[in-house]
């Protein structure tokens, strides 16, 4: 799953550069992104690139990549759904992240619903992009800060008579705060540190959130929160 398991804990044993395969529909974009990442060669290694009409899953498996970074100009939901579903439906050892200009909530939700492990913006500087790729390899679901921060702010804002985000679904205020940080892409450790909780307490809250939202894992919880616009 794109969420990297319910524990949410980054793999602290991961070492060496993040091995990335780039996927796009134009050669110019592929070469430009590869060139941008060259200056961070000690932390990220571009091991290949592919077009959407190629068998990306097999190529990524053979190359032993950690992340397939899908750089595509999204013209509609169908154009996103096809390539990503083909990647995510294959039995694979890599994770898939979206790299895009589109900041609409509908595109973000669709990517996460399909199981993407990241939603990263093309405006991101190279060093920050590498940081995000390292977090994805470590098991986090990473959303660009400009998109994720709104979810955190909404969770801390309690409107008179309306309760907190997710209250109608039966979430407690603390569960709402946990879910907001989950939407932001935080792993269990980060959630615990932000809310001054133990990781075991965070896991307990997550199990309760999954049950109340009728979902199985982190990715589905994030997708449900976005679909229901709990954090506008």
Q: Do 166 and 197 contact (CB within 8 A), yes or no?
A: no
pTM of the predicted model, to two decimals? 0.61
SS3 of residue 159 by DSSP: strand
- CA 134 vs CA 50, 67, 77: distances in Å: 21, 10, 27
Backbone dihedral region for residue 223 (phi beyond 0: left; psi -120 to 50: alpha; all else: beta): alpha
Determine the average pLDDT of the residues in 207-228: 89
Where do the domains of the chain lie, and which CATH numbers do they carry? 18-143 (3.40.50.2300), 148-227 (1.10.10.10)
What does the pLDDT read at residue 10?
A: 40
Determine the average pLDDT of the residues in 192-204: 89
What does the pLDDT read at residue 158?
A: 45
Q: Which of 12-16, 46-50, 82-86 has the lowest mean pLDDT?
A: 12-16
User: For residues 170-208, b (16+ Cβ closer than 10 Å) or e, as one string?
Assistant: ebbeebbbbbbbbbbbbbbbbbbebeebebebbbebbeb
Nearest residue to 200 via CA among 8, 4, 5: 8
Distance CA 164, CA 152 (A): 12
What does the pLDDT read at residue 232?
A: 65
Question: 69 forms bridges with which residues in the sheet?
Answer: 22, 97
Does the pLDDT value for residue 53 go beyond 50?
yes
Calculate the average pLDDT of the chain: 78
Does the pLDDT value for residue 159 go beyond 90?
no
What does the pLDDT read at residue 67?
A: 93
Top-confidence residue, 203 or 172: 203
């Amino acid at each position: 799953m794109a969420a990297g398991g319910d524990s949410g804990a980054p793999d602290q044993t991961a070492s060496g550069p993040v091995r990335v395969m780039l996927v796009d529909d134009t050669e110019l974009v592929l070469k430009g992104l590869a060139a941008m990442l060259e200056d961070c060669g000690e932390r990220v290694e571009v091991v290949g690139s592919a077009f959407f009409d190629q068998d990306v899953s097999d190529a990524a498996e053979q190359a032993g990549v950690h992340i397939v970074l899908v750089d595509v100009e999204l013209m509609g939901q169908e154009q996103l759904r096809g390539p990503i579903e083909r990647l995510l439906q294959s039995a694979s050892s890599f994770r898939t992240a979206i790299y895009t200009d589109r900041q609409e909530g509908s595109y973000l939700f669709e990517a996460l619903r399909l199981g993407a492990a990241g939603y990263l913006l093309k405006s991101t500087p190279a060093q920050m992009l590498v940081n995000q790729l390292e977090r994805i390899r470590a098991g986090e679901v990473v959303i660009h800060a400009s998109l994720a921060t709104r979810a955190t702010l909404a969770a801390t804002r309690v409107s008179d008579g309306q309760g907190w985000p997710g209250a109608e679904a039966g979430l407690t205020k603390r569960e709402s705060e946990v879910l907001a940080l989950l939407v932001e892409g935080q792993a269990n450790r980060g959630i615990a540190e932000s809310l001054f909780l133990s990781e075991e307490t965070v896991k307990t809250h997550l199990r309760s959130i999954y049950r109340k939202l009728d979902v199985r894992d982190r990715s589905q919880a994030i997708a449900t929160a976005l679909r229901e616009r709990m954090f506008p």
